[in-house]
Amino acid sequence: QGAVRYEAENAVISRGVAESNHAGFSGTGFVNYDNAAGSYVQWTVNAAAAGAATLRVRYANGTTTGRPMDIAVNGATAAAGVAFDGTGAWTTWQTRTLTVNLNAGTNTVRATATTAGGGPNVDYIEIQR
Ligand code: GCU
């Protein structure tokens, strides 16, 4: 299985909004998280088999303050306080790469802001096995 992309604007958004006013995104836009701890985007991803996968999160943060997020898979924290530091501009997109464990079949991946600034702008996640 190659990389499968899941757009943030098509995911479940809690306290955030899909927008398209900063260029360079994939798909039809990105998610602008509300500036609040607890705001999240949750994707449903499919895995042919259980095991480790590479998770990439594409984001932009036009501030100079980090926007850390917890990454949960199937409701359990897989990585806490993952840094999403400033990228220099809201139009400058970067990718964070993590390793997560997936179940066979359907999984949820949730990226939850942990500080009052909320999350960065998130374009998509990719799952690579
Ligand atoms: C600006 C920017 C948004 C961003 C927001 C933020 O308003 O245009 O795209 O999400 O700042 O600080 O979260």
Look at the chain and report how many structural domains it folds into.
Answer: 1
Range of the domain at 86: 4-128
Cβ atoms of 125 and 100 within 8 Å: the answer is no
How far, in Å, is the centroid of ligand 1 from the Cα of 121?
Answer: 7
Distance from the first to the final alpha carbon of the chain:
6
How far, in Å, is the centroid of ligand 1 from the Cα of 32?
Answer: 7
Percent of the chain residues topping a pLDDT of 90: 98
ipTM above 0.90, yes or no: yes
Tell me if 90 CB under 6 Å of ligand 1. Answer: yes
How far, in Å, is the centroid of ligand 1 from the Cα of 127?
Answer: 26
Tell me if 67 CB under 6 Å of ligand 1. Answer: no
Strand residue runs (E) in the chain: 4-7, 12-14, 16-19, 30-33, 40-47, 51-60, 69-73, 76-82, 94-102, 105-113, 121-128
Predicted confidence (pLDDT) per residue in 29-85, tens digit: 999 999 999 999 999 999 999 999 999 999 999 999 999 999 999 999 999 999 999
CATH number reported for the structural domain that contains residue 55 in this entry: 2.60.120.260
Q: Is the pLDDT of residue 89 over 60?
A: yes
Q: In the prediction, which pLDDT does 1 show? A: 54
> Which ligand 1 atom minimizes the distance to the CA of 121?
10
Residue 10: DSSP 8-state: G
Count the neighbouring beta carbons within 10 Å of the beta carbon of residue 37. Answer: 16
Tell whether the torsion through CA atoms of 23, 25, 27 and 30 is positive or negative. negative
- Cα 38 vs. chain centroid, distance in angstroms? 14
Q: How far apart are CA 86 and CA 65, in angstroms?
A: 6
Tell me if 35 CB under 6 Å of ligand 1. Answer: yes
